[in-house]
Amino acid sequence: MPAPRLSEMAPGVPIIPVIVVDDVADALPLADALAEGGLTCLELTLRTPAGLPAAQAILAERPHITVGIGTVLSVDDLNRCVDAGVAFTVSPGLTDPLREAVARSPIPHLGGCQTISDAMACREAGLLDIKLFPAALAGGVPLARAIGSVMPDLRICPTGGITADTAAQTLAEPNIFAVGGTWITPKTAIAARDWPAITRLARAATESLT
Ligand code: 3PG
């Protein structure tokens, strides 16, 4: 049975903070700060060793938050995430082995696409939700529109270069179901444990959609 689609899970406000943490102890205050600003769907990344344990800490303590893992680069990464019980996985691109594995994964996966051919390969594998990455470099909204014109069944989450100023206009596209990015959780704010600043950024993002 195919995994459910993230685009059909309605995990709240369609803005997904992409998070890099160095310290697992930051996981809960960070997740709480984002939730207070209205964002309850998060992507922790495997860019640091703390990423997966941080996701597990949030999963265990904050069941109302949808926690995914990004920067999945290999089948082994994918298996570790599925075993950890995360809600979804994300990869910046797709290799042939990873595409085959995510097509069989029990949880939703957003596979990174940069071109029409990447999107076709995902569609062929039954992966109808894709991540457009790095969106600003790959072609942004015009590329999302081009994908929509030939593959209207795909739903897209652009990340990479999305900002507070472009999130709302990007989400106005009918085939874009969410946007992601690091602008809500800047490295400097996490390092300073400035949780109120993160709540302010999350709230600004949430309110930009209304
Ligand atoms: C991602 O993995 O989606 C990106 O690193 C986010 O890119 P950004 O830093 O430009 O938001």
Between the CA of 1 and the centroid of ligand 1 the distance, in Å, is 31
Q: Which atom of ligand 1 is nearest to the CA of 133?
A: 3
Please confirm, yes or no, whether 43 is among the known catalytic residues.
Answer: yes
Pocket of ligand 1 (CB under 6 A): 18, 70, 92, 133, 159-162, 180-183
For 143-184, write each residue's pLDDT tens digit: 999 999 999 999 999 999 999 999 999 999 999 999 999 999
Nearest in space to 169 (alpha carbons), one of 7, 9, 11, 15: 15
CA distance 21 to 28: 11
Between the CA of 182 and the centroid of ligand 1 the distance, in Å, is 5
Which of the four pLDDT bands, split at 50, 70 and 90, describes residue 26? Answer: very high
CA distance 3 to 104: 8
For 184-195, write each residue's pLDDT tens digit: 999 999 999 999
Instruction: Spell out the residues 6+ positions from residue 69 whose beta carbon is closer than 8 angstroms to its own.
Output: 43, 44, 45, 46, 51, 52, 55, 81, 84, 86, 88, 89, 90
pLDDT of residue 86: 97
Which of the four pLDDT bands, split at 50, 70 and 90, describes residue 9? Answer: confident
Please confirm, yes or no, whether 173 is among the known catalytic residues.
Answer: no
State yes or no: pLDDT of 2 exceeds 90: no
Catalytic residue from among 131, 173, 187, 207: 131
Site to substitute for ligand 1 among 72, 109, 182, most atoms within 8 A of C-beta? 182
> Taking the model in full, what pTM does it have?
0.96
Using a pLDDT cut of 90, give the percent of the chain over it. Answer: 95
State the chain's mean pLDDT as an integer: 96
State yes or no: pLDDT of 210 exceeds 90: no
Between the CA of 80 and the centroid of ligand 1 the distance, in Å, is 22
pLDDT of residue 12: 81
Using a pLDDT cut of 70, give the percent of the chain over it. Answer: 99
Site to substitute for ligand 1 among 18, 89, 109, most atoms within 8 A of C-beta? 18
